[in-house]
Structure 1
Amino acid sequence: MRFISLHRADGRIVPGIILRRDGVDMAVDVTHPANPPWYAALPADLLAWVEAGLDTLSARLASGRYADAACVPLSQASLAAPLPRPGKVVGAAFNFHDALRERGMPPPASPVIFIKSGRTVIGPGQAVRLATDVGNVTYEAELGVVIGRTALRIDAADAMDHVAGYLIVNDVSASDMVRADKAFVRGKSQPTFCPCGPWIATPDEIADAGALGVRLRLDGIARQQGNTADLVFGIAELIAHASTQMPLDPGDIIATGTPAGVAIAHDPPAWLRAGSAMIAEVDGLGALHNPIVAEGRT
C-alpha cells in the first residue's frame, strides 16, 4: 500500500492512502469525518500509523469504503511530506560505486553515516530555500527507507524486519559548508534541505529495493541516473550499522546515498539557483518535484 500525508483545507496535515479506482489513482483522506467512525477514530498523523505498523493497517484500509468527499484524484491532491517531522534522517555518504569512480575514490571499509535534522524535511511542491550566505548547493536523489520498529545493535540478517516502507529523499547539501567543516551536519541540515515523498510504499509494493533506478532532472536536464544495485552497502547493512551508532526509532529515515552526477560533477557545475526546479525519481516511488527560491521569497 502507498501511504500519504495530505493538506486539508483547514490547514491540518492528515494521513491518507492511495487507492486505484477505475484506473485512476485516488488520494483518500482516511480520517475524514464523512468516513465510517472506525476510520475517523484512527490517529491523525502518519507517524502514529508507522508506530502502530503499516502492515497491520494495510489490509483493512485497502478494503475500506470511503465517502466521495474523502477522495480526490492524486494529481489534484495537496500532498505534504509523508512524515513532516521525522525524529532524524540518517544519511549515507560515499555509498554509490559510480559516484566513487566519478570522484576517483576507493569504497569506504564501512558505512559513512551522518545525521540530518528532521526539521529540514519538506514535501512535494515545497520550495528549497537558498540563503544568501550559503553557496554551492547541490541536489542528491536517493532512496529513503522508513524505519518501522525500534532498532538497536541489530544484525543485518534481521534489519529488513525493521523496514516500514520506502520513499524518495533529495539530500540537498551545501557543498562549501561540508568542505569547510570537514563534516556533514551543518551543510546537510539547512532549513528545507530534505525534500521527501511523495508517498511511503510498503515493502510489498517494491519487488526489489536493491534494483531501483534513481534519477534527477534539474530544469528538465538529466543530471543523475543510477540504480540501487550499485550501492556499496545495501539497505540491510546500512540499517544494521546505523543501529550500532544510535537507536533507530519508528519514523526515522535512512537515506541510502546518491549516484554519480551531483552538481560539482558537471562542467559547468550544476549548482542549485533560485528560479530552477528539480525532479527526483525512484522506480516505483513516483516523482518528487521541488522548486528552488531565494530565502525570503515565495
Structure 2
Amino acid sequence: MRYVTFSADGRTRWGWVDGDRVRALDHLHPSLKAAIEAGALAADPLRSGDGAAFALTDITFLPLIPDPGKILCIGLNYEDHRRETGRAVVSNPTIFTRFADSQTGHLSAILRPRESAMLDYEGELAIVIGKGGRRIPAATALDHVAGYSCYNDGSVRDWQAHTIQFTPGKNFPGTGAFGPWLVTPDMFGPPGGQTIQTRLNGTVMQRATLADMIFPIGRLIEYCSTFTPLAPGDVIVTGTPGGVGVKRNPQIFMQPGDRVEVEIDGIGVLANAIAQEGAE
C-alpha cells in the first residue's frame, strides 16, 4: 500500500492512496507516524476504517513524516559519487543529520536561501523505520522497515563546505523534499535492482540502481542502530549517486523557476519547483 501525509480542509491528515484519490485515516490514528508506532500499517482493517476521500489533485502534500525523531543522512554511499568528490574509501558509513523543520513536501517549493546561489540536488531513497530497536543485525534489518520513499537532500554547497561538518549546508528551511508517499515493503519488493534518477528541467542528471550503494540498507540500519536507538518513524536517507551539480564542469545549481524530479522504480516521482526564499 501507499500512504501519504497531506493537508485538506484546513487540517493535517494522512491516508492511503486509492488510485487517484486518498482515503483519510486520521480518525483512526492522528498521524502516519502514530500509525507506524502502533503497528497499524500491517493491519488490513485500516482499509475498512476509511474516512473522507480526496482527489490527489485537491490536496497539499506534506513531508511524509513531518516530525521524525531522527533524520539520519548517509553521505558518499555510491561509488561514482565517492569518486567524483575525491573522498577516500572508508569502512563505515558517513553520517550527518537533517532537522525535521528543514523539510518540504511533494509539489511544494524547494527554497534557495538568500545567503547562497549554490543550491544542489541530491536524489535519494529514504527508508522509514517501522519497528524500533538497538543493535539491529543487518540480516534482519529489513524487518524493521515500514516503507520506502523518495528524498531530495537539497544541499547549499558553499555552506556545506565551510568546515568538514556538513550540517549547515543540509538544514536550510525548505531544502529537504520528502515524498510523495510511503510504499510498503510488500509493494516495493527487496531493494536492489530499482533505478533511481534525478532530472533537472527534464534532463537526467543522476542515474543508478539501488544495488550500487556502497553500504546496503541492512548495513546502514545495523550501523545507525548501534550508536543510537532507532524508533518508529525515524528516517534514514541512504545517499545520492554521482552527477551532483557541484562536481560538474561547468557547475550546475538549481535556479528559481527550475523543476527537479527524483524518480525511483516502485515508488514514483517526487517533484518540486525551485523558489527564492522571501525576504523576512
Please indicate the TM-score interval, normalised by the length of the shorter structure.
over 0.9
Match of 1:37 in 2: none
User: TM-score with structure 2 length normalisation?
Assistant: 0.93
Deviation string, structure 1 residues 159-201 (Cα, Å, up to 9, x no partner): 2121111011111111112211211111111111210000001
Which position in structure 2 is the counterpart of 1:14? 13
How far the C-alpha of 1:77 sits from its partner, in A, is: 3.6
Q: How does 1:62-101 map to 2 (within 5 A)?
A: 62=47, 64=48, 66=50, 70-101=52-83
Residue 132 of structure 1 is matched in structure 2 by 114
Note the C-alpha offset of 1:54: 4.2
Counterpart secondary structure, 2:161: helix
- Asked if structure 2 preserves the Cα contact closer than 8 Å seen for 1:54 and 1:202, the reply is no
Report % sequence identity.
Answer: 35
Q: How far does residue 93 in structure 1 lie from its aligned partner after superposition?
A: 0.7
Greater alpha carbon shift after TM alignment, 102-111 vs 47-56: 102-111
Q: Is the 8 A contact 2:25 2:49 kept in 1?
A: no
Cα contact 1:97–1:107 (8 A) shared by 2: no
Structure 2 letter corresponding to 1:259: P
Question: Cα offset for 1:153?
Answer: 2.0
Alignment check: 8 A CA contact 1:211 1:229 kept: yes
Cα distance in 2 between the residues matched to 1:225 and 1:54: 34
The match for 2:46 is 61
The answer to whether the Cα contact below 8 Å between 2:129 and 2:147 also exists between their aligned partners in 1 is: yes
Aligned equivalents of 2:159, 2:40: Cα separation in 1: 37
In the alignment of these two chains, the number of paired residues is 279
Q: Which runs of at least 4 in structure 1 moved beyond 4 Å after TM superposition?
A: none
When residues 149 and 66 of structure 1 are mapped into structure 2, their CA distance, relative to the original with a 3 A threshold, is closer
Pick the structure with greater CA Rg: 1
Q: CA shift at 1:66, angstroms? A: 4.3
Cα offset, 1:261, TM superposition: 0.8
Whether 2:182 is the aligned partner of 1:182: answer: no
2:238 is aligned to 256
Structure 2 counterpart of 1:2: 2
The Cα offsets for residues 109-156 of structure 1, whole Å up to 9 and x where unpaired, read as 111111111111111111111222134121100000001122222221
State whether residues 263 and 270 of structure 2, in contact with CA within 8 Å, keep that contact through their aligned partners in structure 1. Answer: yes
After TM superposition, the score normalised by the length of structure 1 is 0.88
Which residue of structure 2 lines up, in the alignment, with residue 202 of structure 1?
A: 184
- Superposition CA RMSD, Å: 1.8
Contact 1:150 1:250 in 2 (8 A): yes
Q: Answer yes or no: is the 8 Å Cα contact 1:6–1:29 preserved in 2.
A: no
- Measured in 1, the distance between the counterparts of 2:79 and 2:92 equals 14
The 1-side partners of 2:94 and 2:50 are apart by 45
* Pair 1:54–1:271, CA change in 2 (3 A): farther
